[in-house]
Amino acid sequence: MIEMETMKKSCTGMETKLAEMLLDPERVAAKVQAHVDEEAPEPSPYFLTRLDARMREERATAPASWLERLRARISYGPSMHVRPLAAMALTVALLVGGGAYLDMTNWDPSATPPPQTAVVHDLQTMDNNAQLLDQLETMSNTSSENGD
């Protein structure tokens, strides 16, 4: 713990110099270069072997749920099959959305018949009733002439 506190105090302000060191290592001061060389840990020679074994283990284990299987397929499987599916889904969404938009913009509200007012409706009802009464009267006259 004490060693960690000492490293924090000695590395103060190095974050800004690390970017300079990565972009142009020749321009970095020798003191900074020596400090980084001194503090950098040695990589483990078996790191890549262990990483590869861990990846094989993750691929071999069966995920529990459908969401885990989907996540595993996306994470560890080949990604070339995802792009055509995404493009097809986007195309279908655009066609459906565009068709719905065009259908809504071609809608003509004047094509619906205007609603009838009460006066027009009443006049039509009276005309129909008058015609019905005329027909009934004609039928009664013909039946009385025939002698029924």
pLDDT tens-digit map of 8-20: 566 667 677 677 7
pLDDT digits (tens, 9 = 90+) for 60-96: 876 678 887 777 777 776 666 777 778 888 899 998 8
115/35: higher pLDDT: 35
Residue 142 reports pLDDT greater than 60: yes
First and final C-alpha spacing in the chain: 125
Residue 135 reports pLDDT greater than 80: yes
The pLDDT score that the predictor gives to residue 92 is 93
Instruction: Outline where 1-148 has alpha helix (H).
Output: 2-10, 14-23, 30-39, 47-60, 66-76, 82-105, 118-146
- Could you tell me the two tokens for 126? 């009276």
pLDDT digits (tens, 9 = 90+) for 98-127: 887 777 666 666 666 666 677 788 888 888
SS3 call for 108 = coil
The pLDDT score that the predictor gives to residue 103 is 72
Residue 1 reports pLDDT greater than 50: no
